[in-house]
Amino acid sequence: MEARENENKGLIKRIRDLASQGYLALIDEIIQKSQAILDDKRQRGEIPSNIRRQFVQDLLDHQQCICGRPFALHDEAYERLKRLLTASLSSALEDDVLTTSGSLHTLLDRKNQVQSDIDQAMKEKVRLQQTIDTLYAKQDDIKRQMGSSKQTEVSNLAKQREEYQSDIYQYRDEQTRVDMELEETRKLIASLEKQISQARTVERREQLLGRKIELAQQSSDAIAEMFEVFVEEKRQHIESRTREIFHTLAWKSEHFSDVRLTPDYQLEIIDRYGLPARPELSAGERQVLSLSFITAMAQVAEREAPLVMDTPFGRLSSAHRESITANVPNLANQLILFVTDEELRDQALANLRPRIGTEYVLHFNLHTSCTTIEEVKQ
């Protein structure tokens, strides 16, 4: 029974496929008319063309007949060939016409074949349906006989068969449902696997980023540590040079035991008793301390730069003035001083005189309020 049902399903599908070509029966008249038009043109010799267009065009281009006789432009022979060129078909069009003619014959053959196949399939379907109906009738008769049988075993077997048949249908439905759930589960698994792959990619990227951040932090810490060491070394170097320069320039350096530079670059000067002495420094001593600090930073920086001082000796005692003028030229590559005639004199001027490279005098004009610069000739 099941084999006949499957055969019937296959036959129905075949009939459906053949019926999809039913349009061939509707175009029978059109095919016949088209075929008649092509046959008429074929009888008149229009297709296939006896003379190709390219052959006629070559004769016109060379202006020479196939017999070798030349002809002139627009004479009788030329005009006849032009009319022949106009009347002939292009090779592409002629090929299409011939192909179409062959296709029309094929369509007619397919139409007849499809009709024959449909008739045969319908006859087969009727025969098969009759067979199926007969089998169902026999099956029902056997069921009734088995159900009404007086033998208990036969009756029970018939009931069991029906129950088993019902179970088969139920199991088939369950199998269909399970197959659908299995397909959905497979899709879900594929989606989850894709998400896992993406998550692993993100995880690897985050791990790489974490390693980069860790490396950057380690580099930053190392640079910060190196910078702190560098700053401390420079601070100590500046402190040492400031101390040396201050003891060189200050005339009563024995009164001060030490010069210190705090981590925040605050200058502290310690007296002989170990006490801070900066509040007690005179204006000149403060100036000497500042000059020592500035000169020390310039030397530690290892950059050649001039030391420019404006009125440096105005508030200094003669002892400080003589000490600075004797030593400060040795502390800078170039020294530029702006001084008054009263500010630099006597021994202080004598100390600088051998070291003076160029000297200028500034003259202020009371009438014009302008200052002129004049070089002093040695």
pLDDT digit string, tens, across residues 238-254: 888 888 888 887 766 67
Contact call for residues 39 and 145 (beta carbons, < 8 A): no
CB atoms within 10 A of CB 321: 24
| Residue 89 reports pLDDT greater than 70 | no
Which tens digit of pLDDT belongs to each residue from 267-299? 888 877 777 776 677 777 788 888 888 888 888
Helix (H/G/I), strand (E/B), else coil: 29: helix
Backbone angles phi, psi at 307, to 5 degrees: -100, 115
Rounded average pLDDT over 52-72:
70
**What is the H or E stretch that residue 270 is in?**
strand 267-271
Cα 268 versus chain centre, distance: 60
- Spatial distance between the Cα atoms of 158 and 141, rounded to a whole number of angstroms: 12
pLDDT at 334: 83
| Residue 8 reports pLDDT greater than 70 | no
pLDDT at 226: 92
pLDDT at 222: 92
- Spatial distance between the Cα atoms of 341 and 361, rounded to a whole number of angstroms: 10
Q: Which residue has tokens 């200052």?
A: 371
Mean pLDDT for the chain overall:
76
Non-local CB neighbours of 323 within 8 Å, separated by 6+ positions: 248, 249, 250, 251
Which tens digit of pLDDT belongs to each residue from 206-228? 999 999 999 999 999 999 999 99
Rounded average pLDDT over 24-50:
62
- Spatial distance between the Cα atoms of 259 and 286, rounded to a whole number of angstroms: 12
Confidence of residue 105 (pLDDT cuts 50, 70, 90): low
pLDDT at 219: 92
| Residue 95 reports pLDDT greater than 60 | no
Confidence of residue 55 (pLDDT cuts 50, 70, 90): low
- Spatial distance between the Cα atoms of 147 and 159, rounded to a whole number of angstroms: 8
Of 97-106, 117-126, 246-255, 256-265, minimum mean pLDDT range: 97-106
- Spatial distance between the Cα atoms of 255 and 129, rounded to a whole number of angstroms: 134
pTM of the entire predicted model: 0.41
Which tokens sit at 178? 């399970």
Which tens digit of pLDDT belongs to each residue from 181-203? 889 999 999 999 999 999 999 99
pLDDT at 352: 84
pLDDT at 50: 45
Residue of 47, 138, 134 lying closest to 90 (CA atoms)? 47
pLDDT at 42: 60
What length is written for the chain? 378
In terms of Cβ atoms closer than 10 Å to its own Cβ (0-12, 13-18, 19+), residue 281 is middle
Identify the residue with better confidence: 51 or 69. 69
Helices (H), the chain: 2-19, 23-26, 28-43, 53-62, 76-87, 91-147, 152-249, 283-300, 318-327, 346-352
**Proportion of the chain above pLDDT 70, given as a percent:** 70
Which tokens sit at 183? 């397909």
Rounded average pLDDT over 98-122:
68
Contact call for residues 343 and 311 (beta carbons, < 8 A): yes
Contact call for residues 97 and 38 (beta carbons, < 8 A): yes
Written as one letter, the residue type at 339 is: V
Task: Establish whether the linkage from the previous residue to 354 is cis, with ω within 30° of 0.
Answer: no
pLDDT at 2: 63
pLDDT at 1: 56
Of 110-124, 257-271, 321-335, 347-361, minimum mean pLDDT range: 110-124
| Residue 164 reports pLDDT greater than 70 | yes
pLDDT at 88: 52
| Residue 139 reports pLDDT greater than 80 | no
pLDDT at 266: 85
